[in-house]
Structure 1
Amino acid sequence: MKLNYEFYVDASPETIWNILVTPEGTRQIFYGCVLESTFEPGADYAYVGPGQDGDRTVHVYGKWLAFEPYRTMSCTEHPGPSYTPNHASQESRMTFTLEPVGKCTKMTLVNDEFSPDHPSIQKTADSWWIILSNIKTLAETGKTLDLGW
């Protein structure tokens, strides 16, 4: 399965990139999580925040495959250990690409290479629409969507 999303955002690649990687940005779009990493290809990363295991719950983790600031980031992705006992065998690839289009940015997300029988494909497919819409809204308005959560 391949999940593919494209959004045109009335913001610069730098604005969107900062939402994707800084603690101020990720807390707003990834349910209070911070992206912890050295941000180098081959390095580990983890989205850590409030959850089942307290304030330091690992929600998603993996390794960077590519990391080019303001352009692209690609990584392997595993669900956090508190979500499923066989989390290490459940993997997909996530690739964000940012391309300037006039004064806007084309933001593309491809989530693919899911391991066989990955249990979260449908939940992931549904969640990305919310997350990406929130990124677009935050980049354009400076505030997130009020989803009533």
Structure 2
Amino acid sequence: MKPEKISYVYVTYIRSTPEKVFEAITRPEIARRYWGHENVSDWKPGSPWQHVRASDERPVELVGQVVEIAPPTRLVITWAGASQAADPEAYSRVAFDIVPYEDMVRLTVTHDELTAGSGMAKGIQQGWPIVLSSLKSLLETGEGIDVFAKPKAA
């Protein structure tokens, strides 16, 4: 029996343009400013994609493939931990949908095909909200937030 697959959907509204949001996701030098990582690819369907920590060591943390790309409104990639790259069952999928919404955009991130209870499912459940908050902050104020911050003890 195959493990149960789950999905998460995150929606945020950003005072920006679809073009700027799309660039922030796909351009390494912008992603580094709000994510602490660079998304590296040539962004063509079927091309590899890597999520690289923005440091001198530049270790690859996540890998995948570009499934679909329609700038500036849609990007779909596969997603797996670099240590699990050889396991086809380890891959999940992320879709970024960017829709103009009056003087802003609605960004919907759908992360699906996740194995229920996996470390990846737990990690993205905590990670996406802070990453998307940082993206919003960067595009609206020019400064991202610390995505590596930890809650303060009460």
Give the TM-score, by structure 2 length: 0.83
The whole-number CA distance in structure 2 between the counterparts of 1:102 and 1:117 is: 38
2:15 aligns to what? 10
Q: Kindly report which structure 2 residues correspond to 1:101-112, keeping only aligned pairs within 5 A, or say none.
A: 101-112=101-112
Mapped partners of 2:137, 2:116: distance in 1: 34
Q: 1:120 to 1:104 in 2, by over 3 A?
A: same
What's the C-alpha RMSD, in Å, of the aligned pairs? 1.9
Q: Give the counterpart of 1:67 among 66, 69, 91.
A: 69
Counterpart-to-counterpart distance in 2, 1:148 and 1:58: 17
Residue 144 of structure 2 corresponds to 144
Task: Describe the shift of the 1:27–1:147 C-alpha distance in structure 2 as closer, same or farther (beyond 3 A).
Answer: closer
Letter of the 2:103 partner, please give it: K
- Counterpart position of 2:46: 42
C-alpha distance after superposition, 1:84-112 (max 9, x if no partner): xx443211100001000111100000000
- C-alpha displacement of 1:16: 1.1
The aligned residue for residue 152 of structure 2 is none
Alignment CA distance shift 1:38-1:87 (3 Å)? closer
For 2:98 and 2:32, the matched residues in 1 are separated by 20
In the TM superposition, residue 117 of structure 1 has moved relative to its aligned partner by 5.8
Cα distance in 1 for partners of 2:121, 2:146 equals 25
CA contact (8 A) 2:35 2:147 kept: no
Matched residue type, 2:32: R
Aligned residue runs from structure 1 range 126-141, under 5 A: 126-141=126-141
Q: TM-score if structure 1 supplies the norm length? A: 0.86
Q: How many matched pairs? A: 142
Change (3 A) 1:148 1:6: closer
Name the SS for the 2:44 alignment partner: coil
Structure 2 counterpart of 1:88, from 78, 86, 89: 86
Measure, in 2, the Cα distance between the counterparts of 1:44 and 1:104.
31
TM-aligned CA distance change 1:127 to 1:119, over 3 Å = same
Instruction: Assess, with a 3 A threshold, how the Cα gap between structure 1 residues 88 and 144 changes in structure 2: closer, same or farther.
Output: same
Of 33-42 and 71-80, the range deviating more from structure 2: 33-42
Q: Percent identity?
A: 24
Find the residue that maps to 1:55 and give its secondary structure: coil
1:17–1:70 contact (8 Å) kept in structure 2: yes
